[in-house]
Amino acid sequence: MNNNHQATDVPFHFRHCCWFCNEPAAETFAFPNRQSIGLESSHPAIFVASCQECKRFANQVYGHSIWQCREKVKKALIKRYQKDLAIGKNWTKEELANSEFSGGNFEGFAKSGWFIYEVARDRVNFAGWPLHCNGQEISDSSDGLEFIFDGVTYADLSSAIEFYVKTYYLEADFLLKIINIVGEDRFADAIRFARLYIGYSRAAQNELLGDLKLRN
């Protein structure tokens, strides 16, 4: 991570909020994050306020823009809170309040279930606020990021990575690190290298990456 990340302006009423989910923010997330370093970024390097949980998710994902990261953070939130979100699918607020649950866990569920659902729903739905850096709005544009490989045009490099990760059961993290070293011009080599070492331990992979770095 470099030191060129710049703070973004925060609207007054969001001054303590997570940009991803609107919960209280105790952290800042820096984009590009480590995972995204090999990907061309569509906007300047920035910081946004984040809660601990979203930051943890955001650090694990990659993208060409903070909006692509946000999409993945939201997916992670949906997965993590699937049970809470299901409450709103299975009940209405009134049904839950009037349910005949009594005793123990069920009573607690009837009382707090809707609230739990609303918290999860609102976190997933929160759309953040427009990002400004030094008075300039940072726009969510993926123009010019197209990546062509093997005769196929992908929206961007990360879309191509996702495709090959799914097709060959590769580890995205390992592949990203390889691309970081060899560069996107050698995408074919990166895929081949990643395929050779599927299932290797993290330690073995790090050793391979070290060797690769020396040779590049």
Residues binding Zn ion (CB under 5 A): 18, 20-21, 23, 51, 54
Minimum CB separation of residue 81 from Zn ion in Å reads: 12
Nearer to Zn ion, 23 or 84 (CB): 23
Nearer to Zn ion, 51 or 69 (CB): 51
Nearer to Zn ion, 28 or 99 (CB): 28
Cβ atoms within 10 Å of 209's Cβ, excluding its own? 17
Nearer to Zn ion, 18 or 138 (CB): 18
Minimum CB separation of residue 146 from Zn ion in Å reads: 31
Minimum CB separation of residue 53 from Zn ion in Å reads: 6
Q: Are 41 and 64 in contact (CB under 8 A)?
A: yes
Coil, strand, or helix at residue 207?
helix
For 164, the token pair is 């090959």
Cβ atoms within 10 Å of 183's Cβ, excluding its own? 13
Minimum CB separation of residue 176 from Zn ion in Å reads: 23
Q: Is 18 exposed, middle or buried (0-12, 13-18, 19+ CB in 10 A)?
A: buried
